[in-house]
Amino acid sequence: MESNQHIYCDNKIKSTSIQDGTDYLLEYCVNTWEKFLSVEEYDCKTGWTDAKIRSIIVGTYDHVRIMNIIITFGFINSISKERPTYRVDGGEKISKLLGFPRLKNGNEWLFLYNYKKDLPNKEVVHSSLKRMFDKIRSGWEKSCLDDHPRIFLKKDTAMYFLYIKKKNDIEMEDTLFRFLASAFDLKTEMTCHNYWDYDLNENPYKDIMYMWVKKDSIEKVNDAFMLNLL
């Protein structure tokens, strides 16, 4: 493909902001989808996959994983109960399998592929992702280790608050929070997991996530993620 058939997305996802009411994460995801719709599709026959593919360039691997989780998994139960008939993914390994060269400056290829039906338009994506983001931002409750001693990844409770939440029907929700924290430069201020000190088959908390947030960073995390942690 000629280079002018690839569109470059913003290399930074702005933190969302409660203060000005702008959901920059939603804007970024919808704009990225719109860029996919604007580029030409082409047949890719590499032995790994025979599929129609659209390609754009994004800022970092964080962006790849965020869009992979949000689009590939986030549309489940947002548009329909079925897994979408398309996939968004990228990074060095998949780029190599698809025959794309490695990019410089930390940029990554992002691909839309394996789609068999008409792709949803910008308005449908906006409304379904808004519902998804409303779900992942709500439901967090402050807790303590005394109530949840089998949390696997513990933090110093003198420095961190603990929050607990029942998982939504969104796959890899805790992983999404971690990649967003990285993209927002908040990796040291918060983390989110679903790891418990139980055998996988006996875990009574398999549907529960937990989030650690630095006590002196609550306002920053709330503003970046549009949360309402107390």
Indicate the pLDDT class of residue 182, thresholds 50, 70 and 90.
Answer: very high
* Residue 22: Cβ within 10 Å count: 14
Position 212 scores a pLDDT of 98
Q: Is it the case that residue 2 has pLDDT exceeding 50?
A: no
Pick from 223, 222, 7, 227: nearest CA to 111 = 7
Q: Is it the case that residue 161 has pLDDT exceeding 50?
A: yes
CB of 108 closer than 8 Å to CB of 195: no
Position 48 scores a pLDDT of 61
The share of the chain scoring above pLDDT 70, in percent, equals 82
* Residue 205: Cβ within 10 Å count: 19
Q: If you count DSSP H runs as helices and E runs as strands, how many of each does the chain have, helices first?
A: 6, 9
Average pLDDT over residues 178-201: 91
Q: Is it the case that residue 143 has pLDDT exceeding 90?
A: yes
What confidence tens digit (pLDDT) does each residue in 29-67 have?
999 999 999 998 887 766 666 678 899 999 889 999 999
* Distance in angstroms (rounded) separating the CA atoms of residues 148 and 164: 9
Average pLDDT over residues 11-37: 79
Average pLDDT over residues 130-135: 90
Q: Is it the case that residue 196 has pLDDT exceeding 60?
A: yes
C-alpha angle 133-79-14 in degrees, rounded to nearest 5: 30
Higher-scoring residue by pLDDT: 86, 210: 210
Interacting residues of 150 by C-beta distance below 8 A, sequence separation 6+: 196, 197, 198, 205
Query: Whole-model pTM?
Result: 0.86
